[in-house]
Chains A and B, each alone.
Chain A
Amino acid sequence: MDPLSTLWETFFDWDSMREALPEMLTVGLPNTLILAVSAALLGSVLGMLLAVAGISRTRWLRWPARVYTDVFRGLPAAATILLIGVGLAPLGMRVWGPNPYPLGILALSLIAAAYIGEIFRAGIQSVEAAQLEGARALGFSWGEAMRLVIVPQGVRRVLPAWVNQLIALIKDSSLVYFLGLLASQRELFRIGQDYAANTGNQSALLLAGLFYLTLTVPLTHAVNGIDRRLRQGRTVAVHPDDDGGLAVAGESALPPETAARKEP
């Protein structure tokens, strides 16, 4: 049998895709977005806290941040999701009822935070110490200087790496199916998988893959565009002509009696 025709029939069966499409759009896509967006927000906030704790001069902030990062970066995502989703299930049941989403989002956020924390830390530490000194010299506290001057610059420098992590997060959201989902809770991958299992044809999984691509590719390009705009906003070469006007302005700022004013 022609191996290519097998591939074609198993993954590119348009009828199977058409069958799965409505449920992908109305159930899978919203659920994937709920998981990914919530975890991205929570993970980024936690990541920023980890980043700042990681560069703190206080050992009791720095150390836990390092241990946390090592653990959650080092465990397989599936293991973390099971650990939290199953391990905390009794607690989750009491607080949220039989919904695996809160714990799934929590687990995804905790994993993402470990990576995002390292990305933000690298960005923040790449900002010159002179920037902090400049801000402190104006009277800003350390916290204000970080918030207003250092962190905004640091985050801009690592936008592409941060987006990498958000893309990983969108894909990892599929792992929440480990926790057992009701029909209405299934996200893109799970729906694709169910159709594949029911029909013996994998095309629905490929369709799910296409959905992931429609989320991740535009995200990449959107952030790259923002990144390019921010860079162009600040690294244009100095126009040599400007200095002609400058010397004149400098001289006019200096009245002739300047040197004579020092009479006691």
Chain B
Amino acid sequence: MTESVSLTVRDVHLSFGANTVLRGADLDVARGGTACVIGPSGSGKSTLLRTINRLIEPDSGDVLLDGRSVLRDDPDALRQRVGMVFQQFNLFPHMTVLRNITLALRKLKKLSEEEAVQVARTQLDLVGLAAKADSRPAHLSGGQQQRVAIARALALQPQVMLFDEATSALDPELVKGVLGVMADLSAGGMTMVVVTHEMGFARSVADTVAFMDQGMVLEAGERPRSSRPPNIPGCAASSPRCSDPAVRSCRRSGGRSARAWRPAPGRTPAPGSPTPGWP
């Protein structure tokens, strides 16, 4: 894996016409850290994510990798350093799984066919899908497709990975496999920003949990070290999809519940139950 970098989002503003989506969003992720971004639908989570790899250009503010602004870089080159995984996978349906991964390697990294295939097979192996190399994406389950999408992004050896509700479109029983790959990646020291509704994942994997509402990061807490509950004014208005008990109790107590943000017990779980609290 390439050397990981730190990521800073500073005071990012963005409007689409009269619709203001981001109002000064900030986010800090240390080298090799994982930030989970949670918040109600329409709070600007996905948009914030897209300003990091500049799929959407912010109106103002800055995005820095290792302290260096990326806003003057070539966006196409930036996106090879910052991988992204989408809710709907966005695999290319007219290509095999292997082709999906080798396309960018051949055309952008200018690898030879053999080198590209080798890299792709290695990545597929890592997500447990080596046997599916010659399948079309439509022949895979959602969970498998999403793991191919992760492999496709990782094949370019990014320094940062962005996950936009990567498990929201999956059937519950498929979520686990994808979250497993993501936790693995986090454990390997990848700098990651994860927009998610999976509170269990946020609790057990994230270094930072950022709560967004109305285009701002209202509260960003270092998850494991502090059991102090963050003061979350927007919590009561949180998405009804946040059905996690932590959010519910947080909502009940108007964001003051001490229990809500305490790390899950047993941070070093017994083998066989790697991530407590996952669905």
- CB-CB < 8 A to A138: which residues of B? 79-80, 103-104, 108, 152-153, 156
**Which one of B89, B138, B143, B176 contacts A251 once the chains associate, using CB atoms below 8 Å?**
B176
Whether the Cβ atoms of A133 and B270 lie closer than 8 Å is no
List A1-33 residues whose CB lies under 8 Å from chain B: none
**Which one of B108, B156, B187 contacts A255 once the chains associate, using CB atoms below 8 Å?**
B187
Residue A134 at the B interface, CB < 8 A?
Answer: yes
Q: How far is the CA of A256 from the CA of B92 in the complex (A)?
A: 33
- CB-CB < 8 A to B275: which residues of A? 254, 258-259
Whether the Cβ atoms of B79 and A253 lie closer than 8 Å is no
Residue B19 at the A interface, CB < 8 A?
Answer: no
Q: How far is the CA of A9 from the CA of B108 in the complex (A)?
A: 67
**Which one of A153, A243, A259 contacts B183 once the chains associate, using CB atoms below 8 Å?**
A259
List B123-154 residues whose CB lies under 8 Å from chain A: 126-129, 136-141, 143-144, 147, 149, 152-153
Chain A interfacial residues counted at CB < 8 A = 43
Query: Would you give the shortest CB distance from A236 to chain B, in whole angstroms?
Result: 6
**Which one of B80, B92, B225, B271 contacts A139 once the chains associate, using CB atoms below 8 Å?**
B80
Whether the Cβ atoms of A238 and B140 lie closer than 8 Å is yes
Whether the Cβ atoms of A250 and B107 lie closer than 8 Å is no
Whether the Cβ atoms of A253 and B144 lie closer than 8 Å is no
Whether the Cβ atoms of A250 and B187 lie closer than 8 Å is no
Task: Give me 5 A-to-B residue pairs in the complex whose CB atoms sit less than 8 angstroms apart, sorted by A's number.
Answer: A134-B90, A138-B104, A141-B76, A249-B177, A255-B184
**Which one of A135, A250, A258, A264 contacts B143 once the chains associate, using CB atoms below 8 Å?**
A250
Residue B42 at the A interface, CB < 8 A?
Answer: no
List B residues at the A interface (Cβ < 8 Å): 53, 55, 76-80, 83-84, 86, 88-94, 103-104, 107-108, 126-129, 136-141, 143-144, 147, 149, 152-153, 156, 173-174, 176-181, 183-184, 186-187, 204-205, 207, 224-225, 267-272, 274-276
Whether the Cβ atoms of B141 and A139 lie closer than 8 Å is no
Interface stretch (choices A93-101, A144-152, A182-190, A192-200): A144-152
Query: Would you give the shortest CB distance from A190 to chain B, in whole angstroms?
Result: 42
Whether the Cβ atoms of B77 and A139 lie closer than 8 Å is yes
- Which residue from chain A places its CB closest to the CB of B78 in the assembled complex? A139
Query: Would you give the shortest CB distance from A168 to chain B, in whole angstroms?
Result: 27
Q: How far is the CA of A262 from the CA of B274 in the complex (A)?
A: 13
Q: How far is the CA of A152 from the CA of B99 in the complex (A)?
A: 14
- CB-CB < 8 A to A254: which residues of B? 180-181, 183-184, 274-275
List A117-151 residues whose CB lies under 8 Å from chain B: 130-131, 133-141, 144, 148-149
Residue A247 at the B interface, CB < 8 A?
Answer: yes
Given A133-B55, A137-B55, A140-B104, decide whether A258 and B183 contact each other with a Cβ distance below 8 A: yes
8 further A-B pairs in the complex, CB-CB below 8 A; given A249-B128, A250-B143, A253-B128:
A133-B90, A134-B92, A152-B94, A230-B94, A234-B138, A251-B177, A253-B184, A258-B187
Given A136-B79, A256-B269, A260-B268, decide whether A250 and B178 contact each other with a Cβ distance below 8 A: yes
Whether the Cβ atoms of B79 and A258 lie closer than 8 Å is no
- Which residue from chain B places its CB closest to the CB of A250 in the assembled complex? B177
Residue A214 at the B interface, CB < 8 A?
Answer: no
- CB-CB < 8 A to B156: which residues of A? 138-139
- CB-CB < 8 A to B204: which residues of A? 259
**Which one of B90, B139, B187 contacts A257 once the chains associate, using CB atoms below 8 Å?**
B187
Query: Would you give the shortest CB distance from B187 to chain A, in whole angstroms?
Result: 4
- CB-CB < 8 A to A239: which residues of B? 139
Whether the Cβ atoms of B141 and A246 lie closer than 8 Å is yes
Whether the Cβ atoms of B76 and A243 lie closer than 8 Å is no
- Which residue from chain B places its CB closest to the CB of A243 in the assembled complex? B141
Given A148-B107, A234-B93, A259-B205, decide whether A137 and B84 contact each other with a Cβ distance below 8 A: yes
Whether the Cβ atoms of A243 and B184 lie closer than 8 Å is no
- CB-CB < 8 A to B78: which residues of A? 139
- CB-CB < 8 A to B88: which residues of A? 130
Residue A156 at the B interface, CB < 8 A?
Answer: yes
Residue A233 at the B interface, CB < 8 A?
Answer: yes
Q: How far is the CA of A256 from the CA of B180 in the complex (A)?
A: 11
- Which residue from chain A places its CB closest to the CB of B149 in the assembled complex? A134
Residue A235 at the B interface, CB < 8 A?
Answer: yes
Q: How far is the CA of A118 from the CA of B261 in the complex (A)?
A: 56
Whether the Cβ atoms of B53 and A137 lie closer than 8 Å is yes
- CB-CB < 8 A to B136: which residues of A? 233-234, 236
Query: Would you give the shortest CB distance from B53 to chain A, in whole angstroms?
Result: 6
Whether the Cβ atoms of B177 and A253 lie closer than 8 Å is yes
Residue A58 at the B interface, CB < 8 A?
Answer: no
Q: How far is the CA of A242 from the CA of B76 in the complex (A)?
A: 35
Whether the Cβ atoms of B140 and A242 lie closer than 8 Å is yes
Q: How far is the CA of A253 from the CA of B267 in the complex (A)?
A: 19
Given A139-B156, A259-B267, decide whether A238 and B104 contact each other with a Cβ distance below 8 A: no
Q: How far is the CA of A233 from the CA of B126 in the complex (A)?
A: 26
Q: How far is the CA of A139 from the CA of B158 in the complex (A)?
A: 11
